[in-house]
Amino acid sequence: MDHASTVSDEVRALGRELRRAIPEVYRGYAQLRKAALAPGELDVRTKELIALAIAVTRECDGCIASHAQGAPHAGATEAQVAEALGVAVLMNGGPGTVYAPRAFAAFREFVAAPRSPAEPHTRQGNFTADSNTSCPTPP
C-alpha cells in the first residue's frame, strides 16, 4: 500500500469513533460537502482540482489523499492536476514545493491503482454520512 492509501485508511479508521460520538455534525458536514462539490457553474473536476490545491495550502495529508483520489474520479488528467498544483506552489512558496509533490504522487497512486467500487471508501460522488471516506470527507 502506498502513502496516500495508508493516510486515507488511517484517517478513516480514526474518524469512525468520533463520527459515532457526534453523528449529527458528520451528517451536516456530509451535506455541506455534497452541496459544495455538486456540479454547477463549475464542474466537479474543477472543484476537485481546487480542493486539491487547497489541501496543499493547508498541508493536510488526509485532504490531499481524499482529493487526489477524487480528482481522477471526476475526470482530471495528470496535466490538469500538475497545473493546479503549480498554482498551489505559486501561492504557498516553499511549503508548496513540499506538499504539491505529495499531492501529485498521491494522484498518480490513485490513478495507477484505483480502488474498486466494492471497496467502502471509493469516492464516486454519492457520499453519505455513513460512508467510509478519508478527510476532508467525513470518515
Place of cell 452541496: 35
List, for residues 103-128, the tens digit of each pLDDT value.
999 999 999 986 654 443 334 333 33
pLDDT at 41 over 60: yes
Residue 22 belongs to domain with CATH number: 1.20.1290.10
Query: Does a structural domain hold residue 99?
Result: yes
- 131 found inside a domain: no
Alpha helix (H) residue ranges in the chain: 3-21, 23-37, 44-58, 61-73, 78-92, 94-112
The answer to whether residue 129 is domain-embedded is no
pLDDT at 32 over 90: yes
User: For 65-98, what is each residue's pLDDT tens digit?
Assistant: 999 999 999 999 999 999 999 999 999 999 999 9
Let me know if residue 18 belongs to a domain.
yes
Q: Are 76 and 49 in contact (CB under 8 A)?
A: yes
From residue 61, alpha-carbon distances to 23, 56, 57, 103, 134 in Å are 24, 8, 11, 8, 10
Least confident residue range of 15-29, 37-51, 59-73, 108-122: 108-122
* pLDDT value at residue 115: 62
Domain span at 10: 3-112
pLDDT at 124: 36
Number of domains comprising the chain: 1
Quote the pTM value.
0.80
